[in-house]
Amino acid sequence: MTAKPITSLAHLRALAAQYPTISSAAAEIAGLRAVLGLPKGVVHVVSDVHGEYAKLRHVINNASGALRPLVEKMLGGKLSDEEQHALLAVIYYPREVMKKMRTAKPAVLAEPALRLKWVLSTLRLQFTLVKQLAAGYRRTHVHELLPVEFAELFEELWDEATGGPAIHRKAFVETMLRAMSPFDRDLAAVRAASRLVRNLSQAEIIVAGDLGDRGPRIDRVIDILMQQPNVSILWGNHDVIWMGSCLGHDACIASVVRFSARYRRAAQLEEGYGVLTTPIERLVRDVYTDDPATRFVPKGDGIREVIMVARMQKAMAIIEQKAIGQLINRHPEWKLEHRNLLHRIDHKAGTVEIDGKVHKLLDTFLPTIDPKDPYAYSKEEKLCMDRIRQSFTSSAKLWEHMSWVCKRGGMWTMRDDALIFHACVPVDDKGTPVSLTVEGKSYSGRELCDVLGSVVRRAFRKGAEALDSDADWLWYLWAGDRSPLFGKDKMTTFEGYFVEDEKAKKERKNPYFEMIHDAEFTRSIGRLFGAGDDVLIVNGHVPVKVEKGEKPVKRGGNAVTIDGAFSEAYGDRGYSLILAPERIALAEHHKFESVEKVIEAGADIVPTVSTIREYKKPRTVGDTEEGREIAGRVKDLEALVDAMREGTILEKA
């Protein structure tokens, strides 16, 4: 007979500090067992945000389009269409609505009676929604979401919505709000209730990588995510170069700054993180003054002159190639020497040799490249990089943001049947996971993802003061040919700027991206991560080209790509994957107009929602990973009760 596993006494004593009596432990057991029968929380998965903070904010605020139909269902018979739009605007953007109301006619917020009527009406409508949304949660969880200063008011409104208190209790609420009004706390209560509705509408938000680049502000994207109660990040290759930049890694810094110049996104560096770009301007004036830089014309609009930004982009592109060359030379185990191209330039002939073929250079003005030592910084470049590196590593906000991304992030995760990661599991042409040597040992598949995740976390524990080869792996994750976050044979940045031949610019996708159309291959990848045959693989990274007939759901039916061109630079669409109790659905978004349009005209992103997988029986918390964790906690608590009954651990009254 197999002995029953015994929870360690040390663990039980630690648990007893939280549950000191049999009664308290038994009460928690009862509550947890009840939670297992509740509907599972709704998880929203988005990917490849690329700095589009305004659109992300709206998709979060409208719960990927789910709040509008909820309002129609719960309040459609009570409110007109115009009134529903007004309520949704308050839920999405309460502060902006109130700002507009202060100057509107009639002056509702300036007249006490009208103000109280509006606040009361709005709060009661909000709590009609809270009642419905809170039904899927344990009360203790909902209480945790209540702001302390409004806890009593919100408890009263919740009671009112769920059954209706006596008349004097309604008067109690009105009196509280009148007393709050002189301090504007009544309006703060409406804002807090809007936040409560939004927070209850989604149990978790998962971002499957690429928070920044191309779009305007990665800093504001992260600010928005940090305000949400439950967020998980799966690192994308664009994220890791920002993380490496935070640590002062030259190749990552050069890539980030070059991208910011290419898309004219200096504001995220200068305003967002206080990173100086003036050292690059100094480098341009000293070295590239007369350079037309026609191959480096930036995209988009901005304050700086186009020619200055073009030259800045070129200056950083050259520095980037040098930093990458130094990096590749430090890591012969990566087998990327063929990607070092600066020493293959024939300056007299104006050509470069790439993979055995000679190409004419489209730009031959390369004043900082010394043919005898092509990967060394010039004196001016070194001065520039020293100042920029110091600026990156001195930014407190950048460190706060990237540390949060590191702590909340990882290489992969599982939710229900969904295995989620940013890009791919690198495989060969036969579908076998390819190996990569990390610290002298070969890894592939899940083990490769796990060891690279450990290296990233270790690099952050060391920080910028102890920058070493661990940080080099952040760049490899960005562009290495066996990186699970990149999934291509090479990154042809140099070719894109300097070579005309389209074949030389071609970046070949890893075979994974074609093989996930095969259901059995997808299941085999799932097994590497401990998933069953019902696995649904979810990745971003590669935009779905709808205009070319591509579809997010692969032909085998058990893989889906959710990079739907969220960024305006890619198409301004995007997807949310919704893991709900009754189904897994895909919401296809469209262009976001503006907050003003939402408030003034009721504009919204009303996604097209399609069902990927439907469950015969709605899934409960007990069917999920969270449920398995709760079941384990119940066993621990039951062991604690047994220990207290036997006197192994004494109760503390």
CA distance 486 to 209: 11
- Per DSSP bridges, beta strands 536-539 and 409-410 are unpaired
d(CA 334, CA 562): 30
Per-residue DSSP letter, 508: P
User: What tokens were used for 268?
Assistant: 């995220």
Q: Kindly report the number of other CB atoms within 10 A of residue 358's CB atom.
A: 11
Q: Which residue has the tokens 């936040």?
A: 195
Look at residue 506 in the predicted model and tell me its pLDDT.
Answer: 95
Map tokens 């990848």 to a residue.
525
Q: Is residue 395 packed enough to be buried (19+ CB in 10 Å), middle (13-18) or exposed (0-12)?
A: buried
Find out whether 318 and 368 touch, Cβ atoms under 8 Å: yes
The 3-state secondary structure of 303-362 reads: CCCHHHHHHHHHHHHHHHHHHHHHHHHHCHHHCCHHHCCHHHEECCCCEEEECCEEEECC
For residue 326, the model assigns a pLDDT of 97
Instruction: Enumerate the H helices of 433-571 as residue ranges.
Output: 445-462, 469-479, 493-498, 502-505, 512-515, 519-528
Query: In what helix (H) or strand (E) does residue 418 lie, and over which residues does it extend?
Result: strand 418-421
Q: Go through 427-445 and write b for each residue having 16 or more CB atoms within 10 A of its CB, e for each that does not.
A: beeebebbbbebeeeebbb
What is the C-alpha separation between 652 and 367, in angstroms, rounded?
77
Q: What angle do CA 244, 247, 252 make, to 5 degrees?
A: 30
Q: Is the distance from CB of 298 to CB of 317 less than 8 angstroms?
A: no
Q: 466 in helix, strand or coil?
A: helix
The Cα–Cα gap between 422 and 282 comes to 37
d(C-alpha 122, C-alpha 327), whole Å: 58
The CA-atom distances, in angstroms, between 322 and each of 125, 314, 490 are 60, 13, 17
Give the C-alpha distances (Å, rounded to integers) separating 182 from 109, 116, 120, 463, 544. Answer: 11, 11, 15, 48, 52
* Amino acid, single-letter form, for residue 203: A
In the prediction, which pLDDT does 165 show?
60
Q: What's the pLDDT at 387? A: 97
Residues 642/19, Cβ–Cβ less than 8 Å: no
What the block records as the tokens of 466 is 């102890």
SS (H, E, C) 68-111: HHHHHHHHCCCCCHHHHHHHHHHHHCHHHHHHHHCCCCCCCCCC
Tokens of 83: 């009134």
Residues 546, 524: contact at Cβ < 8 Å?
A: no
Q: What is the pLDDT of residue 2?
A: 40
Which pTM was predicted?
A: 0.93
Q: What is the mean pLDDT of each run of 10 residues along the chain (653 residues)?
A: 59 94 96 94 93 92 91 93 94 95 87 94 96 91 93 92 72 92 95 96 94 90 96 97 97 96 92 95 96 95 92 98 97 96 97 96 97 97 97 97 97 94 97 96 97 97 89 97 97 97 95 97 97 95 83 94 75 84 90 83 79 94 92 95 94 85
Tokens 């610290």 identify what position? 439
Question: By CB neighbour count within 10 A (0-12 exposed, 13-18 middle, 19+ buried), where does 556 fall?
Answer: middle
**Cα(131)–Cα(201) distance, rounded to whole angstroms?**
11
The confidence score (pLDDT) of residue 7 equals 66
Q: Are strands 583-588 and 608-614 parallel, antiparallel or unpaired?
A: antiparallel
The Cα 450–Cα 441 span in angstroms is 13
- DSSP label at 371? T
